[in-house]
Homo-oligomer: A and B are copies of this chain.
């Protein structure tokens, strides 16, 4: 590091999309959200922080919401995968517990909350969030329940969507209100909703 070169200025890759710029944007967005909240998440601030021109952002993302969706999708697939294969009652309960942890403690969970919030303010966000995150994930969650039911691991008394809403809803609501998820809540719901009465 020489003092004579204060800005080593990341060199870009010519003709092709610059992946370094892409990552810089994603991380800048993530960091700004976590550090200063959604209010500080302006395109200008992201560009500043990422050391990127605004135009570079607008070239690749239609809005800051899509940036957040990109990070959310990547992170959630790493840190909160929907269990595949043949689930057990335990693994399903584990997923709900993981969801609670994700949404209340993981920085990436803040991104989901922020997008869920922004979706209330802007229909375009709602559409994107459903198409790119909520919808696909819900499909896999339904498969999870279906496979578990077929295998006799669980016997939900409600329909699949109702069951999922009943399990995840309280967790999300707690996160949105800044509360921690009360101890026992997830387990009780899993027992009540996934086991038949005559268990």
| Interface positions of A (Cβ within 8 A of B) | 37-39, 113-114, 116-123, 126, 130, 134, 157-159, 161-162, 165-166, 168-174, 176-179, 181-185, 188-189, 192-193
Contact = CB atoms under 8 A, between A and B. Distances in A.
Report, nearest first, the 6 A-B pairs whose CB atoms are least far apart: A169-B170, A169-B173, A117-B120, A162-B182, A117-B117, A38-B121
Q: Say whether chain A's binding surface is mostly helix, strand, loop, or mixed.
A: helix
B162 A169 contact: no
A168 B37 CA distance: 26
Given A117-B119, A162-B188, 12 more contacts: A113-B120, A116-B176, A117-B117, A126-B178, A162-B182, A165-B181, A166-B185, A166-B188, A169-B169, A169-B171, A173-B173, A188-B193
How many copies make up the complex? 4
B114 A121 contact: yes
Nearest to A183: B162
Contact of A116 (B39, B117, B169): B117
Nearest to A126: B178
